[in-house]
Amino acid sequence: MSVAVVVLASGRGDRFIASGGKGSKLQALLGGKPVLQRTLDAVRASGLRWHLEDAGHEGMGDSIAAGVRATRDADGWLILPGDLPLVRPDSLQRVAAALPGNGVVLPTHRGVQGHPVAFSAACRDALLLLTGPQGAALVARAQKMVNRAFELALDDPGIVTDIDTVHDLARAEKLLGPS
């Protein structure tokens, strides 16, 4: 099965700036390295095919649709926001491995849903139609309704540690520990 990780990096990061952050949250330093670089390092280390969607789309739906369009020959997609710098490569691999036979894979950490959410080729058309600020939650919900959703429990706090505010960045720095 050919799976592509679509890394979303088109957002403006308004909440980060409103919380006192300077500039882009994706370029904020975490352990001396930009947040987006840490996310991309994990994606590269996973060995999975990937695509960075950073064209500055209007909304998350538009970004997801563009990323799926760019990798439309894939059999499935892991949708990964670029602001999850602590996600582990093995978590990405485990989500991808759980996709065959499921319409969607929803990773969780201690009961909290995280990312990347994986979608099978059966979701391609619905993902390509996404627009606006909403992500792919409606697509995932549709898969749940037809019993094609699989919750995958992972022991990786990185799947739920996104950087939306300067407080989030400080919390991630503590989780990262000494460099």
Q: Per residue in 62-99, pLDDT tens?
A: 999 999 999 999 999 999 999 999 999 999 999 999 99
The pLDDT tens digits of the residues spanning 141-178 come to 999 999 999 999 999 999 999 999 999 999 999 998 87
Of the given ranges (21-30, 38-47, 149-158), which has the lowest mean pLDDT? 21-30
CA atoms within 13 A on the CB side of 57: 21
Domain count, the chain: 1
- Contact assessment for residue 79 and residue 7, using Cβ atoms and an 8 Å cutoff: no
Is residue 49 scored above 90 in pLDDT? yes
State the pLDDT at residue 10.
Answer: 85
What pLDDT does 179 receive?
A: 60
Q: What CATH number does the domain containing 69 carry?
A: 3.90.550.10
Structural domain containing residue 136: 3-176
How far apart CA 167 and CA 101 sit, in angstroms, is: 39
State the average pLDDT for the chain: 94
- At 46, is the pLDDT very low, low, confident or very high (cuts 50, 70, 90)? very high
What is the arithmetic mean of pLDDT over 104-109? 98
Position 25 scores a pLDDT of: 94
**Residue given tokens 């969780």 in the structure block:** 108
* pLDDT on residue 59: 87
- The burial class, CB within 10 Å (0-12 / 13-18 / 19+), for 9 is buried
Partners of 7 in the beta sheet?
52, 80
The b-or-e profile of 125-144 (16+ CB within 10 A means b, else e) is ebbeebeeeebbeebbebbe
The pLDDT value given to residue 12: 72
